[in-house]
Every structure is written in structure tokens, then in C-alpha cells.
């Protein structure tokens, strides 16, 4: 993020960017689609293996943090320095994420030193793989009652951890793992093969 944001502690960032869960907005899908066009234009289709909208904003009717999560899977030969420069040129802040899968990249848009501004996006960049997030999304789409359980859990966690994103995220982990496991058992390795 901007230099002032990068100097803030986790607790300061938690105060500036509290957990907010809102009613589902149909506009999120259109904003995702618009962002994909911008990313395709700036990165080049030849570098993109697959791109997906995931997370709660991708599930119609599900209450969500109003942040659009995008999983961008790139070719192993992509020039990473050029990729970073290109994505930053359309308003994203780059964050090196050593604990994330290679190439350890995340980009954020909609964050300022004064709080959220406009639509927030999290762009997760990875090399092509068989990622759990896509299976979890499919499971919530297939089972609305499970999506509702997830929504209730998130609302409870928001009340408990409004200014602690790490605790909020940890509180969802077991639910997500269990649903993802069931999804993989049901739909096999659907995402292990790139779209042709």
C-alpha cells in the first residue's frame, strides 16, 4: 500500500479498515467483469492462464465484506517485474506475501491512509494450480444452506473481531477447510486443468 499504510501496525490497520459485512450487491459481479477487462488489457492475455472471482462477493445473495477477491493465475514464464509495474499502473498497491503460494504476490485497490475509498479489490496472483478457494466457491454456490451457515459465522466473527482481520480470518478456517474437503470429494479435480 502507500508508504504511510506500510508503516502502520496491524492494530492501526485494523482500526482504519474494520471488518464490515454488508448485504450482497449485484453490482459486484459487473465490477469484477470490468476489472478483468482492465487486467487483460494491461497484463496481456498471453500471461494469464485463468482468472476467477471468488470469495463471498462471488456468491449471489450472500452477505460479504465488500471486497472483490480475484484469483489471477499466471504463466510460469511471466516477467514478474513487468507484471508488478503493469498492475500498479491501474491503481493497485503491491504487497509481497512470503507466506502465500508462489510468486508470493497480492495487490490491493481501494485502500488509502484515510480508510476505504471506492470499490476495494484484492488481487491474488499465483502460478497455475488446483486452488482450494475455487472449490469452496463452488460448494457455496451448490449448497445455499451451507452458504447461509457461513454467513452467520462471519457475522458472529465480525462482532467479536471487528478490528482484528487476522482473528476474523482464523475463525473461518475450520469451516472453509471442511466445506472445501467435501467439495473436492464431490466434484473431483475440476480446477486441476486449465481452461482451453
Residue 195 lies in a domain: no
Parent domain of 162: 3-190
Query: Given this model, what pLDDT does residue 137 score?
Result: 98
- Bridging pattern class, strands 67-74 and 48-54: antiparallel
Query: Given this model, what pLDDT does residue 12 score?
Result: 82
- Output the domain CATH number for residue 166: 3.30.460.10
Q: What is the pLDDT of residues 39-72, one digit of tens each?
A: 999 999 899 999 999 999 999 999 999 999 999 9
Helix (DSSP H) and strand (DSSP E) numbers for the chain: 7, 5
Residue 173 lies in a domain: yes
- Per the structure, how many domains does the chain have? 1
Residue 130 lies in a domain: yes
Residue 196 lies in a domain: no
Q: What is the pLDDT of residues 126-145, one digit of tens each?
A: 999 999 999 999 999 999 99
Residue 73 lies in a domain: yes
Amino acid at each position: 500500500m502507500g508508504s504511510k499504510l506500510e508503516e502502520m501496525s496491524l492494530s492501526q490497520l485494523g482500526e482504519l479498515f474494520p471488518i464490515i459485512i454488508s448485504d450482497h450487491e449485484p453490482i459486484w459481479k459487473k465490477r469484477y467483469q470490468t476489472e478483468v477487462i482492465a487486467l487483460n488489457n494491461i497484463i496481456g492475455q498471453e500471461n494469464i492462464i485463468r482468472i476467477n472471482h471468488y470469495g463471498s462477493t462471488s456468491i449471489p445473495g450472500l452477505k460479504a465484506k465488500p471486497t472483490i477477491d480475484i484469483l489471477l493465475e499466471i504463466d510460469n514464464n511471466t516477467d514478474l517485474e513487468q507484471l508488478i509495474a503493469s498492475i500498479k499502473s491501474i491503481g493497485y498497491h503491491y504487497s509481497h506475501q512470503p507466506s502465500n503460494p508462489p510468486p508470493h504476490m497480492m495487490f490491493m485497490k481501494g485502500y488509502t491512509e484515510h480508510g476505504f475509498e471506492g470499490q476495494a479489490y484484492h488481487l491474488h496472483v499465483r502460478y497455475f494450480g488446483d486452488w482450494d478457494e475455487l472449490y469452496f466457491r463452488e460448494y457455496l454456490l451448490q449448497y445455499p444452506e451451507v452458504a447461509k451457515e457461513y454467513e452467520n459465522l462471519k457475522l458472529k466473527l465480525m462482532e467479536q473481531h471487528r478490528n482484528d482481520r487476522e482473528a476474523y480470518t482464523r475463525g473461518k478456517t475450520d469451516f472453509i477447510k471442511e466445506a472445501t474437503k467435501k467439495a473436492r470429494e464431490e466434484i473431483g479435480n475440476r480446477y486441476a486443468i486449465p481452461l482451453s
